[in-house]
């Protein structure tokens, strides 16, 4: 097996991974950076899919404190306040860097200043954007900058299977990768590893992220003993497109539509948000709007396809077509006209606030293992504001790189590792090829069942019984997955990769269901119909860690209000 040695190994090429690679490479040309990406570099992951934009304080009338308060309010006060402060205080320099060094060009107002649009849940219009397809601009420009750095080695269409540690399991040593094109394995030894592979929202039937995302980074970190946090906090975006069985299903119609004044109606023609949040109505936070829509659908007031109507026609067709061309085009794919008629939408699984617990150095409890972007927990608490996602991945991409560069100064060489651990990882990865193919079920069919079950029982509205059932069913799914056999060549074997995806997805799903069962209250994106109220007792984060083969060790930690108490924010 090929072995590669590098200083910094970065898994993932979204906003966090790319920015971390550029930042590490620029810090010192002698540092060797290896960037590994599951798809093509810059073409996989969700930063590219960002539509609405990027929250940042640029206007003198706005302030970091306001952005910080909005972020805590959105997160229902269980955010790690120091991480949230890092986000808001670093966003301005990051946007400037995107403009002046990376080469992005964001939309301007008539004076030539960067334009900022309104987004739900914010006290000031602070969302920077390029039209309604902001991510393409950010990620295309970041990807191009990788060409400029000679000390970044890029390995495309290659996925990390598992992380490797020293024999005590306290320090990261490297990662075993699978080259998807050749079906060959590769060991990369590194002084520091950044996981930036994105979250596991794809475990739901209706979901927004790109298709290859399966929470690999979080699942791998969990398997080597990293602490996970806030896993019950999974955001459902309120306006996902309904498109029957097509894969267009679940794609997001951006936040800015409601920011601009779109209405939501149920099948009876009622503007139902007036009942749920009379003050902010459609411009309420994502969790409130998603849950309200879900309640309408559950209450029998949904559309024929099980959604609600999003209507912009009162704003004038020209306004909609001018400001949201990307969204108009997307809706046209299903033969509808966003500018002139109501569109059926449903909540769609969108973003995992939970993930790997990190400290202010972006490091997990495993030495040398760093996380940034959606893989990391703490910044957003119980619910992420629209526009804070790409801000997080870029800000923490840079910060994690700065910290890793510092960290490796004191590390002379990658840690030793156990050959046995590596062999076991590979053995397990190729197991499906050694099973009897006859009568084996399809991983794609199994996936559909998992997604359906998660949607029904660990979805927008949860309850104790459902969550217990979900945990049992997930164990059965795991057994079934172990029996799936794969045939055909190892080169670019999509079915084999799907099995590997599902192994990770099931870990994320179990952690989500278990944490949701333990949190006996409703907060942010987590809603329990058997515990519908938010409870002061629950200013805590739920943490999970691996304990033996199939066990979770669970503990709670109280939130540390280092900067502001909830009452300071609300008054």
Partner 1 sequence: MPQVLIKVFRCNPKISTETKWDTFYVETYKNMTVLDALFEILRAKDATVSFRCSCRLGMCGSCAMVINGKERLACRTKVADLGDTITVKPLNNLPIIKDLVVDMEPFFQKYESIIPYFIGKDDEVAKTPSRSPARRLIDDMLDCITCGACYSACSMVAFDKEYLGPAALNRAYCLLADDRDAAFEERFRRINHEHGIWRCHTQFDCMEVCPKNIIPTWSIQQLKNEAVLRGLSRYRKIEEGRGAPMGEEMAGRQQRNNQREKQKLEINSKGHGLEGKRNFSKETTDEASEKAVSRKEFLKKVALSLVGITSISPLLIGIRSTLSPVTVSEAKQPWISLGDINQYEEGKPTLTTFEHPLKSGKSIRRSVYVLRESNEVVVYDAACTHLGCPVRWNEEAQMFFSPCHGGVFNKKGEVVAGPPPRPLDRYECEVRNNELFIKDFLRA
Q: Which residues bind partner 1 (CB under 8 A)?
A: 39-40, 43-45, 48-49, 96, 99-103, 105, 107-115, 133, 135-137, 140-141, 144-145, 147-148, 157, 181-182, 210-212, 243-248, 251, 330, 333-335, 442-445, 486-489, 491-495
Distance CA 327, CA 15 (A): 22
Tokens, residue 266 = 């149920």
Q: Can you tell me the distance from the alpha carbon of 222 to that of 219, in angstroms, rounded to the nearest whole number?
A: 5
End-to-end CA separation in angstroms for the chain:
61
Q: How far is the CB of 539 from partner 1 (least distance, A)?
A: 37
Each residue of 255-269: b (16+ CB within 10 Å) or e? Answer: bbbbbbebbbbbbee
Cβ atoms 481, 442 nearer than 8 A = no
Active-site choice (171, 286, 384, 528): 286
Instruction: Say which residues have a Cβ less than 8 Å from residue 424's Cβ, sequence separation at least 6.
Output: none
Q: How do beta strands 2-11 and 33-36 pair?
A: parallel
Q: Closest distance between partner 1 and the C-beta of residue 307, in Å? A: 14
Sorted by sequence, the CB contacts under 8 Å of residue 213 that are 6+ apart come out as 44, 45, 46, 197, 198, 199, 200, 201, 202
Nearest to 61 by CA among 117, 120, 123, 130: 123
Sign of CA dihedral 354, 359, 360, 363: negative
Q: Where are the beta strands (DSSP E) in 196-262?
A: 228-229, 234-241
What minimum distance in Å lies between the beta carbon of 344 and partner 1? Answer: 12
Which residues face 108 on adjacent strands? 114
Q: Which is nearer to partner 1, 329 or 406 (CB)?
A: 329
Q: Determine the Cα angle at 293 with ends 289 and 310, to 5°.
A: 85
Counted residue by residue, the chain has a size of 571
Task: Confirm whether 223 is a catalytic residue.
Answer: no
The residues facing 252 across adjacent strands are 240
3-state helix, strand, coil in the chain (%, to 5): 40, 20, 40
* Residues whose CB is less than 8 angstroms from the CB of residue 457 and which lie 6 or more positions away in sequence, other chains included: 466, 467, 469, 470, 473, 513
Q: Could you list the active site residues?
A: 286
């Amino acid at each position: 097996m090929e072995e590669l040695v590098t200083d910094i190994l970065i898994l993932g090429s979204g906003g966090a991974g790319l920015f971390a690679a550029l930042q590490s490479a620029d810090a010192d040309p002698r540092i060797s950076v290896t960037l590994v990406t599951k798809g093509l570099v810059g073409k996989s992951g969700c930063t590219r899919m960002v539509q609405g934009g990027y929250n940042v304080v640029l206007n003198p009338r706005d302030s970091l404190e306001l952005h910080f308060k909005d972020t805590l309010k959105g997160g229902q006060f269980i955010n790690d306040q120091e991480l949230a402060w890092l986000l808001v205080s670093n966003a301005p320099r990051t946007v400037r860097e995107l403009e002046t060094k990376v080469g992005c060009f964001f939309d301007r107002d008539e004076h030539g200043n960067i334009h900022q649009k309104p987004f739900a849940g914010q006290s000031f219009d602070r969302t920077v954007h390029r039209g309604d397809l902001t991510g393409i601009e950010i990620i295309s420009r970041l990807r191009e900058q990788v060409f400029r750095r000679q000390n970044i080695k890029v390995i495309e269409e290659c996925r990390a299977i598992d992380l490797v540690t020293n024999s005590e399991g306290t320090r990261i040593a490297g990662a075993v990768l699978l080259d998807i094109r050749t079906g060959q394995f590769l060991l990369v030894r590194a002084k520091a590893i950044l996981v930036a592979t994105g979250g596991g929202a794809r475990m739901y039937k209706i979901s927004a992220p790109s298709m290859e995302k399966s929470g690999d980074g979080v699942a791998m970190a969990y398997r080597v003993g990293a602490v996970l946090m806030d896993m019950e906090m999974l955001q459902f975006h309120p306006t996902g497109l309904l498109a029957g069985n097509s894969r267009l299903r679940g794609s997001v119609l951006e936040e800015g539509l409601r920011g601009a004044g779109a209405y939501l109606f149920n099948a009876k023609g009622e503007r139902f948000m007036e009942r749920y949040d009379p003050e902010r109505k459609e411009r309420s936070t994502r969790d409130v709007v998603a849950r309200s829509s879900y309640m309408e659908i559950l209450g029998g007031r949904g559309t024929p396809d099980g959604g609600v109507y999003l209507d912009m026609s009162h704003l004038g067709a020209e306004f909609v077509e001018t400001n949201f061309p990307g969204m108009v085009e997307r809706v046209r794919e299903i033969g509808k006209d966003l500018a002139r008629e109501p569109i059926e939408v449903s909540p769609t699984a969108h973003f995992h606030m939970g993930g790997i617990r990190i400290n202010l150095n972006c490091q997990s409890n495993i030495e040398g293992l760093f996380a940034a972007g959606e893989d990391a927990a703490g910044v957003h608490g119980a619910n992420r504001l629209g526009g804070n996602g790409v801000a997080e991945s870029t800000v923490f991409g840079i910060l994690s790189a700065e910290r890793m560069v510092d960290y490796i100064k004191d590390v002379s060489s990658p840690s030793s590792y156990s050959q046995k651990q590596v062999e076991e990882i590979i053995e397990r990865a190729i197991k499906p090829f050694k099973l009897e193919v006859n009568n084996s079920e399809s991983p794609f069919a199994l996936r559909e069942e998992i997604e359906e079950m998660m949607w029904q029982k660990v979805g927008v509205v949860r309850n104790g019984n459902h969550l217990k059932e979900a945990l049992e069913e997930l164990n059965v799914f795991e057994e079934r997955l172990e029996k799936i056999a794969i045939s055909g060549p190892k080169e670019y074997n999509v079915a084999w990769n799907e099995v590997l995806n599902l192994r990770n997805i099931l870990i994320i799903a179990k952690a989500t269901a278990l944490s949701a069962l333990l949190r006996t209250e409703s907060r942010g994106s987590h809603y329990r119909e058997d515990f519908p109220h938010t409870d002061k007792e629950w200013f805590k984060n739920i943490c999970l860690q691996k304990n033996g083969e199939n066990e979770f060790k669970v503990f709670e930690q109280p939130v540390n209000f280092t900067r502001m108490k909830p009452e300071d924010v609300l008054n």
